[in-house]
Structure 1
Amino acid sequence: MKAVILAGGFGTRLRERITEVPKPMAPIAGRPFLEYLLDTLNKHKVSEVILATGYMANKISDHFSNQYKDIKLSYAVEEKPLGTGGAILYAIDHLSVKNDEPILVLNGDTFLKTDFTEFYSWYKDNEIDLGLVLREVENISRYGSVKLNGDKIIGFQEKGPSGSGLINGGIYILQKKLFSSFKVGESFSFEEDILQKIYTKFRTCGYISDGFFLDIGTPQDFDKAQTELPQAILTSKKS
């Protein structure tokens, strides 16, 4: 398997906690957050990762260089902001992949414990065009929610309403050829320009995970991550 990690965000909401590194490099219990993501991918035999970087890109490449454990690393550095969709497409263009080869895509500021091997098999076995990892949470107001019929996605609800529900966990599996079906420019949003449209035209399905979930996007969650993320990793190693 090959993967793209979106690691180019500015991390504006975390400025009161971190200023010297980009958000994906935020120190969690003495280690960059990205290392936790890469450890999980390495465990599931992901062989190559493209890091889609932008803001403070050199902080990431200087730390990791071109190898992390068994994973070959390379970088797609945005010279200007491309949005999440533009960053994914730009990164995929740097991968030596066929047009119909499945690629994992992860947000670089979110951790959701997922069996990527099983996720990949589920995608292939069910002939899915786009697969999303979903997570049930008690309060969807910060994230918005995803509506399912069976495992087929039938809608997305914007942020705002509270209550429990399924949210987008920030992990996808897709093929490069998918983008050719949409009229997008160089810079575009994956969430608004692809996700909000694709489920009406293509087989778009949700894979539900009940694994540990954490988004480090706010100071409060960054503080929680210092103890909760290492503990979750330790617990999973024992189980």
Structure 2
Amino acid sequence: MQAVVLAAGKGTRLRPHTEDKPKVLVEVDGRPIIEDAFDNLLEIGVDELIVVVGYLKEQIINRYGDEYEGVPITYAHQREQLGLAHAILQAKPHVDGDFMLMLGDNVFRANLADVVNRQQEDRADAAFLVEQVPYEEASRYGVLDTNEYGEIVKVVEKPDDPPSNLVMTGFYTFTPAIFHACHLVQPSDRGEYELPAAIDLLIQSGRTIDAIRMEGWRVDVGYPEDRDRAAEQLQDESSRTGAIEAEIMEEPESATD
């Protein structure tokens, strides 16, 4: 399956880190954020990366060229940053069939493969990871409104008064139906073509949509403090992994006759 990685944003909230580089090249724990996205996608079997670039795009193109760890990269150009739905449409000419979508400014240690597997099993037009966040943070994301049976009835982008604290994270799988929905989306109050609005159109038209609870963690690197938090999480995980490996190495061999 192909994967579209969105990497066109200016990252104005992440300044001063983004004054001279695109947001996805800001380093977290010594590595650009986008490399974490690439590694996650390679781990679940992506066979082509389609990277949507915009702000200071030459830095990304010059750094990675036409492949990453042997996986080919194709670049799509978003000349104006008009929202995620608009960004996805820039990738459309390069997409052939179902595809993954990852926001290039998120750091994941989560069950991404579950999303791909569920979408294929259910033949869903969209599948994505969701997580519960504090209510005061929900307005930063696409928020899910559910009925009494837990079914998704609506998706709202960055609402002032969130209907819940269940939000979409930055990893999805789609069929090509999402492109038609993105074409139908109208600009939001922010003047952007929002991805949650496109997904909501799929829901309202009766398409199959799967929401998978996230297991693990992720950090949306939107502010400098998020960058620091992501680095701390990665360092803690590395320390735990190192401790487990050291413990295994110290275990005495089983006695034999």
Structures share fold, TM-score greater than 0.5: yes
The counterpart of 1:143, out of the listed 136, 141, 144, is: 141
Relative to 1, partners in 2 of residues 1:18 and 1:83: Cα closer, same or farther, differing over 3 Å?
A: closer
Q: Which residue of 2 aligns with 1:11?
A: 11
Percent identity of paired positions between Structure 1 and Structure 2: 25
Does residue 174 of structure 1 match 2:174?
yes
**177-186 or 71-80, which deviates more:** 177-186
**TM-score with structure 2 setting the length:** 0.80
Question: How has the CA–CA distance of structure 1 residues 72 and 13 changed in structure 2, closer, same or farther, with 3 Å as cutoff?
Answer: same
State the match for 1:118 in structure 2: 114
* The 10-residue stretch of structure 1 (187-196 or 67-76) with the greater mean CA deviation from structure 2: 187-196
Alignment partner of 1:51: what SS?
strand
1:183 corresponds in structure 2 to: 184
2:3 alignment partner, SS class: strand
1:72-111 superposed matches below 5 A: 72-95=72-95, 97=96, 101-111=97-107
Unaligned runs of 5+ in 1: none
Offset at residue 129 of structure 1 (A)? 1.4
Q: CA deviation at 1:184?
A: 5.0
Does 204-213 or 2-11 show the bigger shift?
204-213
Measure the CA separation in 1 of the matches of 2:19 and 2:124.
Answer: 40
Displacement of 1:30: 1.6
Q: Are residues 84 and 142 of structure 1, via their aligned partners in 2, closer, same or farther at CA, if it must alter by over 3 Å?
A: closer
Do residues 209 (structure 1) and 205 (structure 2) align? no
Task: Give the letter aligned to residue 93 of structure 1.
Answer: P
Mapped partners of 1:44, 1:167: distance in 2? 23
Structure 2: which 5+ residue stretches go unaligned?
A: 246-257
CA-to-partner distance for each residue in 1:72-123, whole Å, 9 max, x for gaps?
A: 111102233343112112113123x1xxx21101111122333333321211
Query: Normalized against structure 1, the TM-score is what?
Result: 0.85
SS state at 2:132 partner: strand
Q: Name the CA shift for 1:152/1:93 in 2 (closer, same or farther; >3 Å).
A: farther
Larger radius of gyration: 2
